[in-house]
Structure 1
Amino acid sequence: METHDEAKLCFPQINTSCIKHTRPQSESMLIYVLLSFVSLLTVILNLLVIISISHFRHRQMLHTPTNLLLLSLAVSDFLVGLFVMPFQILLIEPCWFLGDLVCVLFYFFAFVTTNASVVNMVLISVDRYVAICDPLRYSTKITQRGVQICVLLCWIYSVFYSFQILSDNLKQPGRYNSCYGQCVINVIVAVDLVLCFILPVSTIVVLYLRVFVVAVSQARAMRSHITAVKLQSSVTVTVKKSELKAARTLGVVVAVFIVSYCPYYLVSLSVSELLIGSSNIFIIFLLLSNSCLNPVIYAYFYTWFRKSVKLVVTLKILQPQSCEARLL
């Protein structure tokens, strides 16, 4: 018969086993339901973006360089919601029953997908910067082929970066566990802070400030400029409004990204090496929640996305020739 102390161990038959943390059942249920809902919502929202861009092709308007970047972002965020978040929910308790190798592979996949999401946001910021600040040469600077290469390089870089940042953990899985049944990895804070937060945020903020200055100057020019061709003036105003909306959207992206990532990196600033595990699960989940908000920010406010969602939800997407539906 097990003693009281043995019953608290993750693996009662092993003396070096981790100790279970007990909490009220109602509290545990609330946490699991909340985090599971965020995970499910992340999958659904990003899947809608993927379907909207991939399935519908009216006039090829949705298959633009910008939407290709949105598709890549949606894929990375979809993988975060489908695989990373559920495994992260398992880490609410310190008892990890899937082994050290699965633990480090999970974190490797988490780093790949979240880093790809961040890089995709930087690429989208660059795309919007060129579209607003140099619209006349946008079609020559930002091409479909060039964006495809950038997306491929984004994912290659994310995989390479994850290998480097987790090299010690991959060589010897479980080396940083303090007890048996724990899932903990070690990350060099300085490298992760610079490459995954400071550089991306700095790039996005600088580009946004430039976009904001140009957008304000264009708005002033619109008010002071008088043209004899009313039709041309109307088209110009429409284009400018579209670009100003893109500028505002980019501003929301910056704010949400910083709010989601700041708590994690503020904690990491206090140490030179950070042990990631069940002790900081909620901070990490806040960071991952950025993948749930991205599709809302980038796609929900577009008319074509709202129309495509209606077609998907009502199952009209299953009808013949549904991919030719007019969304714009």
Structure 2
Amino acid sequence: QLHTPTNLLLLSLASSDFSVGLLLVFQIVLIDGCWLYGDIMCTVYQYLAYVITSASIGTMVLISVDRYVAICYPLHYSTKITQGRVKICIFLCWICSWIFQSLILIDNVKQPGRYNSCVGECAFVISYIAGYADLAFSFIIPMIIIIGLYIRLFMVAMSQAGAMRSHIAAVTLRHSVRAKKSQVKATKTLGLVVLVFLLCMCPYYCVALTGEDNSMSASSAAFVICLFFFNSCLNPIIYAFFYPWFRKSIKLIFTLQI
């Protein structure tokens, strides 16, 4: 019962977020002040961090599209959103993330450790053009898509609630209460998704693009980077555990009732 197109997207999101968690083990080493694994491993670590985070953001956009079609075009959902198409979209999301970040980080990949000023440092530098491209495709465009789709979802939910109230006069009061609850829930979901994404991503991109990262202390830089990664920690809560059926499935699995 869990093998659905939506859950394939959640699986992709879970895979990317879990991988970010593994990479944070190396980030703890960076916080400690010295990189012990050489220039090549430093480049691999930074490269994977960029690719996986980019894939996570791309999957968030795909989930927004999936919800948009499910709510706005429910009768066509089963024909438009199939497992085959979702698998292709997930594959393209990861491939595009890999290609895009390869272009962004090409100088660092070609010559590992070129920006290190001393032994034990793991420095990664990208040009302003690459930085603005990363800002646009990893932050601005995904945010515009997510906000636009969720606003559309909210409007459709309100219109459906209004149609329900007008057609069922006998239970107007009850449906009015339900409609208000639905609107509040939709508003909270929209606000939470946007707020979490902004809070986690904005500090990183602001520091990186203003060039103030060179004047920051090690602890401040580590906090900004960890906050950037923390978005992946919150994604499972927002996109998975808000589903009652998902929580029930997890409970059945971990209590050995399957």
Instruction: Give yes or no for TM over 0.5.
Output: yes
What displacement does 1:276 show? 11
Q: Which residue of 2 aligns with 1:192?
A: 134
**TM-score w.r.t. structure 2 length?**
0.86
Q: Superposed, which structure 2 residues align to 1:81-120 within 5 Å?
A: 81-82=21-22, 84-120=23-59
Letter in 2 for 1:285: C
Q: Which residue of 2 aligns with 1:226?
A: 168
Letter in 2 for 1:219: A
What displacement does 1:245 show? 5.3
Q: Which residue of 1 aligns with 2:143?
A: 201
Q: Which residue of 2 aligns with 1:150?
A: 89
Distance 1:67-1:251 versus aligned 2 partners, 3 A rule: farther
| Identity across matched positions, percent | 57
Q: Superposed, which structure 2 residues align to 1:11-90 within 5 Å?
A: 60=1, 62-82=2-22, 84-90=23-29
Q: Which residue of 2 aligns with 1:14?
A: none
Which of residues 271, 279, 286 is equivalent to 2:211?
271
Distance 1:261 1:88 in 2: 17
1:163 correspondence with 2:163? no
Q: Based on CA coordinates, which of the two structures has the bigger radius of gyration? A: 1
Q: Which residue of 2 aligns with 1:178?
A: 117
Distance 1:153-1:249 versus aligned 2 partners, 3 A rule: same
- Provide structure 1 residue ranges, at least 5 long, that are not aligned to the other structure: 1-59, 323-328
What displacement does 1:309 show? 2.9
Residue pair 1:208, 1:251 contacting (<8 A) in 2 also: no
Distance 1:275-1:206 versus aligned 2 partners, 3 A rule: farther
Whose helix proportion is higher, 1 or 2? 2
Distance 1:135-1:308 versus aligned 2 partners, 3 A rule: closer
Letter in 2 for 1:201: M
Distance 1:140-1:247 versus aligned 2 partners, 3 A rule: farther
What displacement does 1:306 show? 2.0
Q: Which residue of 2 aligns with 1:281?
A: 222
What displacement does 1:178 show? 1.8
What displacement does 1:154 show? 0.8
Q: Which residue of 1 aligns with 2:243?
A: 302
What displacement does 1:91 show? 0.8
1:137 correspondence with 2:101? no
- Provide structure 2 residue ranges, at least 5 long, that are not aligned to the other structure: none
Residue pair 1:128, 1:246 contacting (<8 A) in 2 also: no
Distance 2:216 2:45 in 1: 12
Distance 1:275 1:161 in 2: 28
1:286-328 CA-to-partner distances (Å, cap 9, x unmatched) read 01111111111111122222223333443x16xxxx2xxxxxx
What displacement does 1:244 show? 8.5
Letter in 2 for 1:211: L
The CA RMSD over aligned residues, in Å, is 3.0
Distance 2:218 2:34 in 1: 9
1:213 correspondence with 2:152? no
Residue pair 1:185, 1:275 contacting (<8 A) in 2 also: no
Letter in 1 for 2:44: L
Distance 1:105-1:274 versus aligned 2 partners, 3 A rule: farther
What displacement does 1:134 show? 1.6
1:28-50 CA-to-partner distances (Å, cap 9, x unmatched) read xxxxxxxxxxxxxxxxxxxxxxx
Structure 1 ranges of 4+ moved more than 4 A: 241-248, 272-279
Distance 1:213-1:96 versus aligned 2 partners, 3 A rule: same
1:79-123 CA-to-partner distances (Å, cap 9, x unmatched) read 1112x1111111113321211110010001101111110000000
